[in-house]
Chains A and B, each alone.
Chain A
């Protein structure tokens, strides 16, 4: 105990030969690579390190103090305190790389009811640097359950604290905006206090670098459609990509899963891609590290009139590339019930979301902004095209998606791949494929 949380890198996550195989069982694919799923440790019965227990304390940078009971790994938790309102899907959230750098609070009080399932993770690791719940349920019940949330956290070295009044935390974050926090054993309180004082925002770290893969890999080489024609080839820039995005993309494309730093030239010259996708991911979209490299690749693809789709961070990067600013939101959108209005059709979809930054609206500006006022500096339009706001959030009217005018490209802030969350927006993957097909030669 007493060790401070050390961020892990995706490269440390055992990527090879796990249970995640998005290219498996697909027409034309012979030897699809497989990857580690965060629940694989539990499925394989790996011996777990002993867990934390006993009284714990959670301190927030604005002076909040909460006592609770520790569980999960014997670590100190630290990071930006956020909350998600989804009532189910905790395993998907815990393994969502977008939560890297954060301490994740679940507003639903009973977490772990149905245990941890094989193949339900969204990456190979648990990414939050701490987990805050009201009750960590110890007796899960579900036909697929292979373990508890406590075990999942222990297997990934992530600490948790329970018996916390999570509604009180939610209310604090809602009113004051996201704040930094630390938690650990009550006995370490002095240590924790000192750590909190020196704690810098995880957003200053290159979080995208932490969570993304290091080298390109083709997930479904040779994939064919129902008529045995090769699928169009897609470059999927990984800024922290969720596994279900890869699964969805593999339905429609031959997918090259690549690091965020991959340049457009390599993608076109070495991989001969037909279309580009950019994923979700953690942190500030304006971070000068890997996120900016991904942004440049996106802009180059748009300039080359290649079809491009972006989700979440991918959307924000496109916004920046178009000359719009991005800004930190007061407390963001995290949950499975965010209503999004399609301004073209006038319909509303209930979507899954997980983001703390947003693209400023060209007219309305920075809605629902964080009190810190953090935002990107004004930038140039590097797309060579105008963007138009296509989707807005029905609650706070923030930007939820962009169409690139005159280009076969669009981006969305929400998560059509769901996991967790509703499938309302799932048709967007098909929409992108249709756009690509049309672009490649008029409706294959």
Chain B
């Protein structure tokens, strides 16, 4: 069947903000779907609340709404636009839930909108546990014994019926398994099920037999309207059942399964997608008992998913694109496989001639207090993927891609227990065996490293299997890594003595130059960076280059080279005696185009999210538009940047110096762009600059494009930047650097409390805290790791200052300011966690003028060539420069959507040599207020204080726009998915010096009809100002009712809780905020935030929100 002609306009729903369980994969799939639909001539309307995505860039869809992704808003947009069809399968669970609700309440029928892709019946059958189990039973598929429960009584009865512990709890209709878990006793059961019932949209949880320890695997299936169905990819989790698949280290294709095993599972996956009548992509999860061959069907996602993004990148098969085409009527055999061109069609099962490993990226490096245990709900923010010709190679490349700690596994010591940099002396003590057993047994982010460590210590595969239940096949591979490491150490050779055979063997197993150097030196406790010249990474690289050993680049072509592939999507591997190298670049010598390499931003993590992928995609587009060859390196399978047709050539590689170097050599690149991939990319600037002279003899003659390395260093190095600031007359908070405890104490004394303290070269404010007294300084220093190359920075803390973010681009002679953004929260709260406004709302013009002048002075003074971001603070009439980031920033996409200035593209153009004067800069949008608000992962991460502070905690952001600031803010707030209260009770607790400022807020709340609850002190102040208030005891008073009682009783619908300025956990506030998170009660932690929230409440009462179409064009 060819495309349907009866559809003209199609609405596509995105997935909203990046959050744990729902990351950039839906930007990727949505973008691919929108492109697929538009190339077929359909008009596409896209709705997404996330300003940082590529999919809602003005040129992507015909009409764009950056509006809250909630049923009311989507219904209203449907009323306005009256599209023929709604495609919900590209926006994750968020979009599916909205579509389901709009279908069930009759809205779609009333408005004549057809749900395309999988229909409502399919969605219901796949999502409702009871219906799903009935479907499985009807076609004879084995399912785990499971009982759907809608109340706690039913839960307990169900547990009795199953009769054996542990018991698995899975909520229905949630994302990332939120609220699920494994209970070993009745207490845990009640605790987990309570949360599960609350989080499920239909208040339903499933109580199941435990199949802990079984193998877990996934099948990605495609099906069209003519009932053709194929398996795109099979994936095997290394972690056995019990760990959410999004939290598992995953390998593709299946490794430890025979063809007979696979075909049974394949048949079951196909019969399931047929019975559910899914049209498009779907993902089936199985559990498999490797000792008996028993199978259980775990679940089905009737939509594209994180796994399908992984499957797409692992095989080259564009699942979302094909799913979109199927939704408009095509059959698989009518669709050419775009990877291979006309040779093959989408009715095809990709075959791999490599091994793929995915490892999740967890935020525990930032959230040291969070519970690291991995279970049935997700905690990771992103993931990396790597490709190799064997498991070891793929695994070690994936490890290097994580950018978490060291880029290769090292022997574990006591320092690893205390996370991250730890304490230097602990690094000398080996991790105790007893701890190692626990690290192997309990799934955490440390488990894979623990497995290798176990084999370093000579533990047997049988022993480790007993502890972990991990399939032996993988354990043999980890054992091989450990044994190879040992054999490297045992050579007792210097890098110059290594033979070609030795190096070739180690490289083919994925050992990086740095790993080999570290192993040759016996993994010194002082770390791989302490290796002496002649014994370090560079020395191994030189030896390797002298021996002529370079990786070969192989193509990801979906067909194991059976057909000639068109799409240049590569990975590196060390192959045997292949002097010419197949999959060579066609006619590299004859290529006349300049080849420019853009370095991506790696896994999505806190502090470095999808915004940087957005920047990379724009850079690549700018390079291609300028008629040059755009080459991209990245390792994140979820992103648009790693889509097969985003760049001219894509390299799926770790973003370390070694892998980037080899790509540069292979491409004989003319230049590299490091401004767009966040801190990951910019961190490569200096080391790469140092390395370039060593590569000249290999014919590499290139430069780092845009802002010079020296300027990057000047902006990042504290002392140099202070000197620069002094030179051009900028005011900075007083600060000092300390490399020892005494230095730090002296600095604190000199500056005076409170101080802002942080390690240098930080990403997302890791380890940054505000310290108010000597005890806190002592505590911080006990935890901190100080070394000459790792100083601590101590800054004057600017109280009650307004923070400003500026994004700008400079070309050496001219500066373009994208936007001056005002933060709602005071300086001291990480800019990534702030709510910010374009245009600034409360800053006098004269101050804006000064900001603009200083921005220009900085851009020209540092000789920035490209984009940069500055954080200023305004205290009274003083303007302080806090920091300058000589790269694309988190706010660049927000600025683009709010002002119409595509800053990333403008900057990329400058970087590749097109000055501002030669660019067509679009007209700036005016007449609206745009708000960016953060989205926090508090519900997913227990043990984390849910209060914004100097350390970044948000995973993503949303956007709201309107002609008035309060409505724009209200939209953004609604889009965060935390409700905006309009009635009920408000609980107020603030610091003493803020109490009088609270009065007008409280008055407004009373006018809005709220009952005010407050602690005795606050009550006194309020009553003295004629504000009626009810006393609630402080939690510490141990008297009732306290705030927690009121919250549990449902009497509180809004909380103002301004904590003391220190980041140290204040127990009362923490407990209250934690409970608020779990009960989904909105709370604000600043007075300005409270005022804005009250303004939003008023706006909400004024009437329904009217969606606004994005009117930006560029």
| Cα distance A142–B472 in the bound complex, in angstroms | 9
Q: Which residues of A contact B561 (CB under 8 A)?
A: 107, 167, 170-171, 174
Nearest CB of chain A from residue B800's CB, rounded to whole Å: 62
Nearest CB of chain A from residue B407's CB, rounded to whole Å: 24
Nearest CB of chain A from residue B460's CB, rounded to whole Å: 12
Query: B353 contacts A114, CB within 8 Å?
Result: no
Q: Which residues of B contact A339 (CB under 8 A)?
A: 230, 333, 344-345, 347-349
| Cα distance A335–B1004 in the bound complex, in angstroms | 72
| Cα distance A120–B563 in the bound complex, in angstroms | 30
The one of A113, A134, A171, A347 that contacts B255, using a Cβ cutoff of 8 Å: A113
0/1 interface trace, chain A 53-72, chain B, CB 8 Å (1 if under): 00000000000001110000
Nearest CB of chain A from residue B882's CB, rounded to whole Å: 51
User: Can you name 30 A-B residue pairings with CB atoms under 8 Å?
Assistant: A85-B560, A88-B257, A107-B351, A107-B560, A108-B351, A109-B390, A110-B255, A110-B390, A114-B257, A117-B258, A117-B260, A141-B256, A141-B473, A141-B476, A143-B290, A143-B291, A167-B575, A170-B560, A171-B582, A331-B562, A335-B562, A336-B349, A337-B351, A339-B333, A348-B331, A348-B333, A394-B344, A419-B259, A422-B349, A423-B263
| Cα distance A135–B230 in the bound complex, in angstroms | 28
Interface core residue of B333, B345, B352, B390 (most chain A CB under 10 Å): B333
Having A88-B262, A174-B564, A339-B345, one finds 14 other A-B pairs with CB under 8 Å, namely A88-B258, A109-B355, A117-B260, A139-B472, A167-B561, A170-B562, A331-B562, A337-B348, A341-B333, A348-B230, A348-B333, A350-B231, A395-B344, A421-B263
Query: A87 contacts B253, CB within 8 Å?
Result: yes
Query: A135 contacts B390, CB within 8 Å?
Result: yes
Q: Which residues of B contact A85 (CB under 8 A)?
A: 351, 353, 559-560, 562
Q: Which residues of B contact A171 (CB under 8 A)?
A: 561, 582-583
| Cα distance A394–B292 in the bound complex, in angstroms | 38
Task: Describe A's contact surface by its main secondary structure.
Answer: loop
Q: Which residues of A contact B891 (CB under 8 A)?
A: none
Query: B576 contacts A164, CB within 8 Å?
Result: yes
In the complex, residue of chain A having the shortest beta-carbon distance to the beta carbon of B558: A337
| Cα distance A141–B473 in the bound complex, in angstroms | 5
Nearest CB of chain A from residue B290's CB, rounded to whole Å: 6
Q: Which residues of A contact B260 (CB under 8 A)?
A: 117, 120, 419
Known contacts A110-B391, A114-B257, A335-B562: A141-B472 contact under CB 8 Å: yes
Task: Answer yes or no: B397 CB below 8 A from chain A CBs.
Answer: no
Q: Which residues of B contact A422 (CB under 8 A)?
A: 263, 266, 349
Query: B345 contacts A395, CB within 8 Å?
Result: yes
Query: B228 contacts A348, CB within 8 Å?
Result: yes
Query: B351 contacts A163, CB within 8 Å?
Result: no
In the complex, residue of chain B having the shortest beta-carbon distance to the beta carbon of A66: B577
Q: Which residues of B contact A88 (CB under 8 A)?
A: 254, 257-259, 262
Q: Which residues of A contact B582 (CB under 8 A)?
A: 165, 167-168, 171
Taking CB atoms and an 8 Å cut-off, the chain B residues in 283-334 that contact chain A are 290-293, 331-333
The one of A67, A134, A337, A341 that contacts B389, using a Cβ cutoff of 8 Å: A134
Task: Answer yes or no: A396 CB below 8 A from chain B CBs.
Answer: yes
Task: Answer yes or no: A420 CB below 8 A from chain B CBs.
Answer: yes
Nearest CB of chain A from residue B728's CB, rounded to whole Å: 56
Interface core residue of A67, A144, A395, A423 (most chain B CB under 10 Å): A395
The one of A113, A350, A420 that contacts B230, using a Cβ cutoff of 8 Å: A350
Taking CB atoms and an 8 Å cut-off, the chain A residues in 154-175 that contact chain B are 163-168, 170-171, 174
Query: A86 contacts B259, CB within 8 Å?
Result: yes
Interface core residue of B293, B343, B471, B575 (most chain A CB under 10 Å): B575
Query: B564 contacts A167, CB within 8 Å?
Result: no
Nearest CB of chain A from residue B240's CB, rounded to whole Å: 14
Taking CB atoms and an 8 Å cut-off, the chain A residues in 97-121 that contact chain B are 107-110, 113-114, 117, 120
Nearest CB of chain B from residue A147's CB, rounded to whole Å: 14
The one of B344, B560, B578, B583 that contacts A108, using a Cβ cutoff of 8 Å: B560
Task: Answer yes or no: A79 CB below 8 A from chain B CBs.
Answer: no
0/1 interface trace, chain A 123-148, chain B, CB 8 Å (1 if under): 00000000000110001111110000
Q: Which residues of A contact B390 (CB under 8 A)?
A: 109-110, 134-135
Task: Answer yes or no: B19 CB below 8 A from chain A CBs.
Answer: no
Task: Answer yes or no: A418 CB below 8 A from chain B CBs.
Answer: yes
Task: Answer yes or no: B789 CB below 8 A from chain A CBs.
Answer: no
| Cα distance A85–B340 in the bound complex, in angstroms | 16
Q: Which residues of A contact B472 (CB under 8 A)?
A: 139, 141
Interface core residue of A108, A110, A341, A420 (most chain B CB under 10 Å): A110
Task: Answer yes or no: A442 CB below 8 A from chain B CBs.
Answer: no
Nearest CB of chain A from residue B1's CB, rounded to whole Å: 9
Known contacts A87-B253, A139-B476, A142-B256: A337-B350 contact under CB 8 Å: yes
Task: Answer yes or no: A222 CB below 8 A from chain B CBs.
Answer: no
Task: Answer yes or no: B554 CB below 8 A from chain A CBs.
Answer: yes
Known contacts A87-B253, A120-B258, A395-B563: A168-B354 contact under CB 8 Å: no
Task: Answer yes or no: A400 CB below 8 A from chain B CBs.
Answer: no
Query: B576 contacts A67, CB within 8 Å?
Result: yes
The one of A68, A87, A117, A143 that contacts B576, using a Cβ cutoff of 8 Å: A68
Query: B267 contacts A423, CB within 8 Å?
Result: yes
0/1 interface trace, chain A 306-349, chain B, CB 8 Å (1 if under): 00000000000000000000000001000111010100001110
In the complex, residue of chain A having the shortest beta-carbon distance to the beta carbon of B562: A85
In the complex, residue of chain A having the shortest beta-carbon distance to the beta carbon of B292: A143
Task: Answer yes or no: A92 CB below 8 A from chain B CBs.
Answer: yes
In the complex, residue of chain B having the shortest beta-carbon distance to the beta carbon of A172: B582
Nearest CB of chain A from residue B463's CB, rounded to whole Å: 15
Q: Which residues of B contact A337 (CB under 8 A)?
A: 348-351
| Cα distance A167–B576 in the bound complex, in angstroms | 11
Query: A165 contacts B266, CB within 8 Å?
Result: no
Query: B349 contacts A110, CB within 8 Å?
Result: no
Q: Which residues of A contact B343 (CB under 8 A)?
A: 395-396
Task: Answer yes or no: A89 CB below 8 A from chain B CBs.
Answer: yes
Nearest CB of chain A from residue B16's CB, rounded to whole Å: 36
Task: Answer yes or no: B227 CB below 8 A from chain A CBs.
Answer: yes
| Cα distance A167–B577 in the bound complex, in angstroms | 12
Query: B351 contacts A86, CB within 8 Å?
Result: yes
Task: Answer yes or no: B585 CB below 8 A from chain A CBs.
Answer: no
| Cα distance A347–B230 in the bound complex, in angstroms | 12
